[in-house]
Structure 1
């Protein structure tokens, strides 16, 4: 059994409206599909975990016509679960079918990231994985990050940061925000990121929380 970790990049026309909001709005950080169930008799049912502005996330769900029902349950000020029932687009159905063919299994979560990409892990036999890559619709491209024996370990090492959090942390290090004594300001970090100081501060707090969590309890 092989494991394939890959990143999907979407044409503008194929990007999900909620995913597009995540890519365009600094209020969003990360959106993860935890579980999904396809139904021939009606809308598909999905459970998401999201980080960022939960009210803005709920507004994005409400503004998407093909989402027929949803409920957002906040966990704290910056994270929530979302129960969603949705009529899938033709593209989404074809993409899902590509990675759920015979002999394949998508290992949750599927992560929709702030740079507009999606990351997922698929396990199966080599021939089935190759067939999945060939069946991906033309509106999406696939970057294969790793293929190997599946060992059940989470992707990556250390803190699980989003691209924007990692960019914020790198900017903070570059301008001296974490120097002792501190030689760079939060405003300098914001200038590097091209955002407001409050937004930069939020990105750094979440990156710091993820890094501390990984250091204190590195086990998944």
Structure 2
């Protein structure tokens, strides 16, 4: 499982995307969307100098069936909007991915957090694309580290010794001897660590594909794959927090 924060550009023809773009200085916090007999209902907390303009714009939208002001305070206005669910809500429902509330929307862009496995997160991304939304950035906050402590220590030592340099400054035999472990153990530990880092690298790259499609290759990932050894060294270095030696 992973927790991922997404920055999503909302469709220009959606009521939430259009209204927030028309008042870029206002912040709309969608605190929840529920299905009711009258349709989907979204609660919005609007802040900023453009609050009256946002409310009027919502009332003028043909795709927002009804807009009601629930509370008008000095710093914020709480609004109840009956209409189609925001694109990210519709995508989350279809993918079966729960959203963490609240979702902040500003100038047509929504910042949201989701928690689920990689497969469902990828499905969520594809559903967003189908709804006309575009993922602009993604960042994860993983519940468990990529590498075990033993793998991390060995990879750090390998990078510092120049094992991943081109040409290599350290052989596998020398690295194993320096760590006082069997060569076979050293090789297997590095291989497992490399596999975990590369899998995470490919998964993260896939999460950032703008179109979120199955059949469109990720050019960034393809480019790294053409130089796998350099990509592996860089990603291992980032994972363990060291800078590899320049060849």
TM-score (norm 1): 0.55
**1:24 — aligned with what?**
22
Query: Structure 1 CA distance, aligned partners of 2:35 and 2:143?
Result: 25
Are 2:38 and 2:82, in contact at CA under 8 Å, matched by a contact in 1?
A: no
Bigger share in strand: 1
User: What is the Cα deviation at residue 11 of structure 1?
Assistant: 4.8
- The verdict on how the C-alpha distance between 1:63 and 1:150 changes in structure 2, with shifts beyond 3 A counting, is farther
Q: Is the 8 A contact 2:2 2:140 kept in 1?
A: yes
TM-score by length of 2: 0.50
Q: CA RMSD in A?
A: 2.5
Which runs of structure 1 show a deviation greater than 4 angstroms over 4 or more consecutive aligned residues?
none
* Cα gap change, 1:108 to 1:29, in 2 (>3 Å): same
* Counterpart among 22, 33, 38 of residue 42 in structure 1: 38
SS at 1:48's partner residue? strand
Q: Secondary structure at the match of 2:32?
A: strand
Unaligned 5+ segments in structure 2 are: 145-247
Contact 1:11–1:140 under 8 Å retained in 2: yes
Question: Counting helix residues as a fraction of each chain, which structure ranks higher?
Answer: 2
Quick check: 1:99–1:122 contact (8 Å CA) kept in 2? no
Q: Number of aligned pairs?
A: 141
Q: Distance between the aligned counterparts of 1:44 and 1:50, measured in 2?
A: 19
Residue 63 of structure 1 corresponds to which residue in structure 2? Answer: 60
Structure with the greater alpha carbon radius of gyration: 2
Counterpart of 2:156 in structure 1 is none
Counterpart check, 1:113 vs 2:110: no
